[in-house]
Structure 1
Amino acid sequence: MLNPHPTRYAELNGVLHDLVTGAQSALGESFVGAYLQGSFALGAGDLHSDCDFLVVVRDHPTAAQVAALRTLHRDLPHRDGHWFAHLEGSYAVADELRSVDGLGRAWWYVDHGSDELVLSDHCNQAWTRWVLREHGITLAGPCRVELVDPVPDDVLREQARAGLATLTDDVLGWCPPDVAWCQRYLVVQACRSLYTVRTGQVASKRDALRWAMVHGDPRWRPLLQQVLADRDLGLDRQAAPRPGSMDAAREFAAYVAAVA
C-alpha cells in the first residue's frame, strides 16, 4: 500500500505515486520498498529542494528491468508540473544496503532533473544511509529500519573529514565559480560536513547553517547569514556571486577542513 501523503505538497505526492507505481511495474517481484531521504526526510524540504528517493530492490536489476526503468525516467522529467523535474535517487540492492560493508557500490541512479539512468555510488554514502534509517519516509514497503543497520558514528565522521579535504575542488569541478548558487552550495556543504564531524549526525542545509552560526567562529557569521538569506533565490545560472563572496566561501571551506 502506498503512502498517500508523504510530503506537504499535493503535487509532489502525486509525482511520487507515479514514480513508485512505475518502479513497481518495471521491477515486479524484485521491488522491496520506496523511501524518501535527503531534505524531505530531514523535515526541511521546500520548493527550492530536490526530492531524494531510494527504491530498494532484491537483486541487481536485469537488463529488461533496467530498460523499463529507463523508459520511466525518460518520461517523468518531461511531464507538466514543478516536481517532475526535481526527482533524484537510486535503486539500492537490499544486500548492499544492509550494512556499511556495502558502501560505495554502484547502483542505478538518476540525477536531479535528469532523464538518464546511470550507475553511480551517489546515494550509497554513509550520510544518505543515516538519513534513510533515522529519518526516512516510507512511500511503500517495510519500515526502513528493517532494511538498514545503524551507521556507526565513526564511519560518518570519517567520510565527512575525507570529503572536506577536497571539497572546494570537488564542488567547483562541476559547479562553476561564477554562479551564485555554487558559492552558496560550497558554504552549505562545508557546514554540513563540520556538523557531522562534531555530532556524528546529519543535518539539513538550513539547520547546518544555523548550527554553524551558533557553534562556529563568529568571524564567519556574515558569510553564513548571506548564504542563508540568499537560499530562496534558487538556482539562476546567470546570477553571479556577490562581490568577494566566492573568495570568502573558499576561505571558509579551507577553515572547516583545518578545524575538522
Structure 2
Amino acid sequence: MFTPYEELDALLGDLTRSVRDILGDTFVGAYVQGSFALGAGDRHSDCDFVVAATRLPRGGTEAALRRLHDGIPLRPGHWTRHLEGSYADTASLRDLGGLGTPWLFNDHGHRELTWDTHCNSAHSRWILRHHGITLAGPPVTEVVDEVPPEAVRAEARAALPEVLDSVRSWASFDLAWTQRYTVTTYCRVLYSLRTGRVASKPGALAWGREHLTPGWGPLLTQVSADRGRGWDPADPPRPGSLEATYAFASYAESFAA
C-alpha cells in the first residue's frame, strides 16, 4: 500500500507502468511526494508525483506522455482528477544546481502538460528526499541529494512577500477554500523559515497554534476545522475570516526581514 486509498494505489500503479513503457530505457524511478509522502493526504488532497528519467522527455516521448495525461482525467473514479507531478531529468533533480530547470508538469485537475518549475523547488526536493514513497526504481536517496536547511529557509524567506499576490493570480478570494489555502500556505512558509524543514498542511497549522502569537489561534483553528468543507465554488468565506486572513498575511510577511 502506497496510500490509504485502494483506488489511488491502483491509479499510481497503472501510471507507473504506463510511464515506464513510454520512457523505455530512460526511465529511472517514480515517486510520491507532497501530502501523501508526509503522511497527511486525505480525500481533499491532490497526489503529487515525480518521475525521474535520464533525460527530459522530448519528441515522440513527450507526445506520448501528453496523450496519457490527456486521457487520465476522463477515466472514472475520484483520484483520476487529482494527480499532480512532473517528469524530471536526473541531472537537474540531483542537487540544487538544477533549480530553475523547467520539467514537464501535470497540473492538478488539468489534462494538458506544460513545461514548468512548479515541482522543482527546495520545498519539494526536501519532501522527496526525506519522505518520498518509491513506486518504482532505486531508493529516493540515490536520486536526490540532501537539501540543506539554509536552502529551505532562503526559499521560504523569498516566498513570504509573494504569497498573497501568487494566490490571487489563480484563485478567487470569494471562495472559502482560497481563504483556508492562504492561511495554511503562510503557516507552511513560516514553519520552513523557522525550522529549515517542510510540514504538511495540518502539521503547519498545528505548529502555528503552538508557536505563533496566540491571538491567531482562532483563525488557525477555523482553517483546520473547515478543511472537511473541501473545494466548493458556492461556498463563500466565513464572516470576518477574510479580513483576519489579510491581517495574518501582514503579520506573516513581517518575518521576511
Q: Same fold (TM over 0.5)?
A: yes
Partner of 2:222: helix, strand, or coil? helix
Partner in structure 2 of residue 190 of structure 1: 186
Q: Does 1:259 find its partner at 2:252?
A: no
Q: Deviations over 1:101-133 (max 9, x none)?
A: 101210000100111111000000001000000
Q: Does 1:250 find its partner at 2:246?
A: yes
Partner of 1:35: helix, strand, or coil? strand
1:175, 1:161 → 2: CA distance?
A: 22
Q: Deviation at 1:25?
A: 1.3
Partner in structure 1 of residue 35 of structure 2: 39
Partner in structure 1 of residue 176 of structure 2: 180
**Runs (5+) with no aligned partner, structure 2:** none
Q: Does 1:128 find its partner at 2:124?
A: yes
1:250, 1:174 → 2: CA distance?
A: 17
Match of 1:91 among 87, 95, 99: 87
Partner in structure 1 of residue 96 of structure 2: 100
Match of 1:14 among 7, 10, 13: 10
Q: Does 1:68 find its partner at 2:64?
A: yes
* Code of the aligned partner of 1:48: H
> How many residues matched?
256
Q: Does 1:153 find its partner at 2:158?
A: no
- What pairs up with 1:205-244 in 2 under 5 angstroms? 205-244=201-240
1:157, 1:250 → 2: CA distance?
A: 23
Q: Deviation at 1:250?
A: 1.4
2:57, 2:162 → 1: CA distance?
A: 33
**Runs (5+) with no aligned partner, structure 1:** none
Q: Deviation at 1:62?
A: 2.2
TM-score, length-scaled by structure 1: 0.97
1:152, 1:104 → 2: CA distance?
A: 17
* Code of the aligned partner of 1:99: D
Match of 2:165 among 156, 162, 169: 169
Q: Deviations over 1:171-223 (max 9, x none)?
A: 12211010110000000000000000111100000000000000110110000
Partner of 1:223: helix, strand, or coil? helix
2:27, 2:109 → 1: CA distance?
A: 23
Q: Does 1:28 find its partner at 2:24?
A: yes
Q: Deviation at 1:257?
A: 1.3
Output the aligned Cα RMSD. Answer: 0.7
